[in-house]
Structure 1
Amino acid sequence: MVRFKRMRFIKIFALLLGLLVWASSSAWAQGVTLIRDAEIEHSVRTFATPLFQAAGLNPSRLEIFLIEDDTLNAFVVPGGRMFLNTGLILRTEDPTQLMGVIAHETGHIAAGHTFSRGDQMENAMLKAIAGALLGLGAGLATGDSGAAAAGSIIGQDMAMRGLLSFTRGQENSADQSAIRYMRSAGYSPKGLLDFMEIMQDQEALLSSSQEPYMRTHPLTRNRVRALEHAVEAHPGEDEQLDPELARLHARMRAKLSGFLESEREVMRRYPESDTSVPARYARAISHYRNGRLDSALDGMDRLLEEHPNDAFFHEMRGQMLLENGRLQEALEDYQTATNLQPEEPLIRLTLAQVQTQLNRPELDQAALDNLAKVRARESDNPTAWRLTAIAHGRLGDKGRAALALAEMNYARASWNEAVGQAERAKKLLDKNTPAWLRASDLSEAAAREADQQN
């Protein structure tokens, strides 16, 4: 959608494939839009990490993706990938509801439910999903300040109805696992029960009108009863929620509302009479999205007066300035945000982008330093490699610039271009140095991928 082109909330552009999926009849797969945002990813990870650990899973090996879709849905695919619709986050009323869903989906991952299907067509669909996610990382393949690398993956509805749906037995198993994970992490499973009660309202609707989650995660009275018994066995458990989790959840919903919902809906959710931080945040973002920069900046300035060390407020203010060409001011906000949240690669990446766009020699090395830290966290990030190539080129290092372009094209699955840039790098770099050896490896790997594709 065009309106996301300028957003730090990253729109994913089509990069790899559109897949023709055959079920009872053939239909072109519809692409889905994935979004990235440092603050929301930070919050979701905060919720999910203790649940992954409770399940005995390594959080660093699991990926969570956000789908820009106002329907209520979440699903998992092989490889430890979990997808959450923005509509799900907006519909949850407290963090334990969202955590309950994450815990349930984690149960499917831990039990290997996503690997239990052996049909050849489904395996092909999974391969397509994996291919479409190649190079997603922190993307930004288009070069826009709010962009990211992307994939067009199989249409959600088609996938949900077949490949990604679960049996009642698997659902019961995932529920029981979710209860254990929630309690092990110190949270009440009441949030999952509350979510199931939301789902119960869908039962009377025709299948075509039900939320996707209801159609792919069959709900039974026994499931609800089991959750009720689990909650009743520990009265008062839900009163122990960490206020910080509630704060993160409220901020996340406000940010999604400000970016994704109409101005009328934002004002309905967050009227002027609501002076809470989330409400003011949502209104400031909505003002920005609707072209009222002065009002948006005024809102952010007031929030920063009260919370001067909030990295994500500085990032949001920086985005507003960056997207309106005020680069020097944006630089200050992104530098502050990076200092406050040094482990957030998306913030550091945009700082490097601003440094590069300012086109000042003294900033090129600073950009390279920041980009090296980004790549240490997200080595397949196409934009980090593209900006690296620009900085090296300005500093006169044509060999490393060509190598960075080879890395960028490899991350984007542009195999032939990767081979060409890698071979160019080999000619410019000193033979048998680590950089030359990396260029050689890239050339061979990309050539193999190109042959397989043909």
Structure 2
Amino acid sequence: MLAGLMALLLVIPAVGPVQAQSRPISLLRDAETETLIRDYADPLFRAAGLDPAGIRVFLVNDDSINAFVAGGMRMFIHTGLLLRADNANQVIGVIAHETGHIAGAHLSRIQDELRNATIEQIIGMVLGGAAAAASGNAGAVVAGSSLGSEIARRNLLKYTRTMESAADQAGMSYLDATKQSSRGLLEFFGKLAGQEFLSEPRDPYLRTHPLTSDRIDSVQQHVDQSPFSAITDAPDLQARHQRMVAKLKGYLWPLSRVEQEYPPSDTSVPARYARAVALYRASQMQEAVKLMDSLLAEAPDDPYFLEQKGQILYDSGQLAAALPVYTQAYERAPQQTMIAMGLAQVEIGLEQPDFDLSAIRRLEEITRVEPRNSRVWYLLSVAYGRSGNLPMAHLALAEQAMAQGDPETAWGQAKRALEGFDTGSPGWLRANDVIGEAQQRLDRYEGP
């Protein structure tokens, strides 16, 4: 159920080990992948003195080898990094590095550095960037900047390079604290070395992080000295990593490419999983179900195999058959919000009053964990409406609009919801909160 339920677009300023980026990105959701990444990350967060519950990890649908942190306590990992990682330890090494950025509050400290620049220097940077964009000539950045702004720019980039080195050192300390090898981070930097000269300017002062060769040397020294360098991934962890990679390839690659890498002669679990997902994406539902059944014959209680089969059945219009499969998946992993949402979607699709009430209970639980999940609010609006609770249906539509960045629709739906609630009731209070939040956003859009 990776891309089927949710794909979001955000614009996020980022700082990461490859290069900063500021452009729309597509986020993917998948319960199995998210769980594995959290199992990689949470011990590192705790080693860094961070509360894992306070950090959100997102999967970015981007083929580049990258990961970054943004917005303080948010970590973003590209599918390109996961697909090219040979083992779990390489991904864990990158997460350790990014955890160093979070623990060091590096993003907020960059803002401090920008505030320390003079207005004239900042204007010089902005005008230089505008000139480069207009002319298509990167040299216009220097030509359009004063000497003072150029010095400030170089000082800022030097500061970010220092932060990258600090994040490397912090990450390796977290790996030692959790008795894991830093060799995966070293191997990851080796992967970056091949693309370094394609992705960054040659002038080391213009780099936003240290030369990859310098970082490789630093990590190599740590690997040579650490007592944990010879430790390898547990077989179960590596098996889960291979499953995750196979599943992602099944979702993101065309069927022909998947079958090249995982031919029918390959009967391993990752190979069958990848082919099943790829066949499903190619609308070859019957063949996909057969492969999922072969996997479930060997692991009948696996919630993610059950979820995937349920999704295939649902998307092929077999809702009655999907219900018991999704129910089994939910019973085995009730904490997985994506599985709970999938089950609720099937229940709503069956259009039976008892199932609507069950779906409402399930979806309301999800909103407490993911209050900005627009898909959940949409499903709730449908279930509330069919059960005759129109004020809650309008409120759910208002919440959906807020999650999608549409304050005007949110304001109107919350106003309609308000008319049906008793004064002072929880729904009335929440509708007023949404109206207030929507109005604040609208005021910001309109400006002074």
Shorter-normalised TM range: 0.7 to 0.9
Q: TM-score, normalised by structure 1?
A: 0.80
Equivalences, count: 397
Could you tell me the TM-score, scaled by structure 2's length?
0.81
Structure 2 counterpart of 1:198, one-letter code: K
| Cα distance in 2, alignment partners of residues 281 and 321 from structure 1 | 16
Q: Does the 8 A contact of 2:59 with 2:79 survive in 1?
A: yes
Contact 1:8–1:37 under 8 Å retained in 2? yes
Q: Is 1:428 matched up with 2:423?
A: no
The correspondence for 1:259, drawn from 241, 248, 251, is 251
Q: Tell whether 2:295 aligns with 1:295.
A: no
Residue 344 of structure 1: which of 336, 341, 360 is its match? Answer: 336
The residue that corresponds to 1:172 in the other structure is 165
1:282 is aligned, of 274, 281, 284, to 274
Q: Is the 8 A contact 1:9 1:37 kept in 2?
A: no
In structure 2, the residue matched to 1:453 is 445
- Structure 2 SS opposite 1:428: coil
CA drift of 1:327 comes to 0.9
Deviations 1:86-131 (A, max 9, x none): 11001110100000011111111111221222348x9xxxxxxxxx
Q: Secondary structure at the match of 1:353?
A: helix
Aligned-pair identity (%) = 41
Distance in 1, Cα, partners of 2:439 & 2:55: 29
- CA–CA distance in structure 2, aligned partners of residues 318 and 176 of structure 1: 44
1:328-407 superposed matches below 5 A: 328-407=320-399
Matching of residue 100 in structure 1 with residue 93 in structure 2: yes
Measured after TM superposition, the shift of residue 453 of structure 1 is 1.6
Asked if 1:250 is matched to 2:242, the reply is yes
Gaps of 5+ in 2: 14-21, 118-137, 139-152
Which residue does the alignment assign to 1:136? none
Counterparts in 2 of 1:68 and 1:220: CA distance versus 1, 3 Å:
closer
Once the two structures are superposed, residues 349-380 of structure 1 have per-residue CA deviations (whole angstroms, 9 ceiling, x without a partner) of: 11111111111111111011111211121122
- Give the counterpart letter for 1:232 in structure 2: D
Offset at residue 273 of structure 1 (A): 3.3
**Structure-2 change in CA distance of 1:235 and 1:442 (3 Å):** closer
CA distance in 2, matches of 1:17, 1:74: 15
Distance (whole Å) between structure 2 residues aligned to residue 100 and residue 270 of structure 1: 27
Counterpart contact for 1:281–1:300, Cα < 8 Å: yes
Q: Contact 1:11/1:33 (CA < 8 Å) preserved in 2? A: no
Please tell me whether the aligned partners of residues 12 and 70 of structure 2 are also in contact (alpha carbons under 8 angstroms).
no
More displaced, 194-203 or 62-71? 194-203
Aligned to 2:403, which of 405, 411, 415?
Answer: 411
Match of 1:57 among 46, 50, 54: 50
Counterpart CA distance in 1 for 2:2 and 2:182 is: 35
CA contact (8 A) 2:251 2:277 kept: yes
2:76 matches 1:111: no
Distance 1:326 1:7, change over 3 A: farther
SS at match of 1:257: helix
Root-mean-square deviation (CA, aligned residues, Å) is 2.9
CA contact under 8 A between 2:8 and 2:28: conserved in structure 1? no
Instruction: Provide the C-alpha distance between the structure 1 equivalents of 2:394 and 2:31, rounded to a whole number of angstroms.
Output: 29
How far does the alpha carbon of each residue in 1:167-204 deviate from its partner, in whole angstroms, 9 at most, with x for none? 3322221111111111112211111111122223334x
Q: Shift of residue 44 of structure 1?
A: 0.8
- What is residue 47 of structure 1 aligned with on the other side? 40
**2:394/2:417 contact within 8 Å kept:** yes
Residue identity matched to 1:115: S
CA contact (8 A) 1:322 1:330 kept: yes
The amino acid that maps onto 2:92 is M
- Which structure 1 segments of 5+ residues have no match? 1-5, 20-28, 123-157
Instruction: Write out per-residue CA displacement over residues 386-424 of structure 1, whole angstroms, 9 at most, x where no aligned residue.
Output: 222222222222222222222222222221222222222
Say if 1:382 and 1:412, in contact at 8 Å, map to a contact too: yes
| 3-state DSSP of counterpart to 2:322 | helix
- Larger C-alpha radius of gyration, 1 or 2? 2
1:199 to 2:195 alignment: no
In structure 2, what is the equivalent of residue 154 of structure 1? none
Deviates more, 1:328-337 or 1:340-349: 328-337
Task: Give, in angstroms, the shift of residue 83 of structure 1.
Answer: 1.4
Which segment is superposed worse, 437-446 or 337-346? 437-446
Aligned counterpart for 1:439 among listed residues 420, 424, 431: 431
SS of aligned partner of 1:33:
strand
| CA distance 1:420–1:347, shift in 2 (3 Å) | same
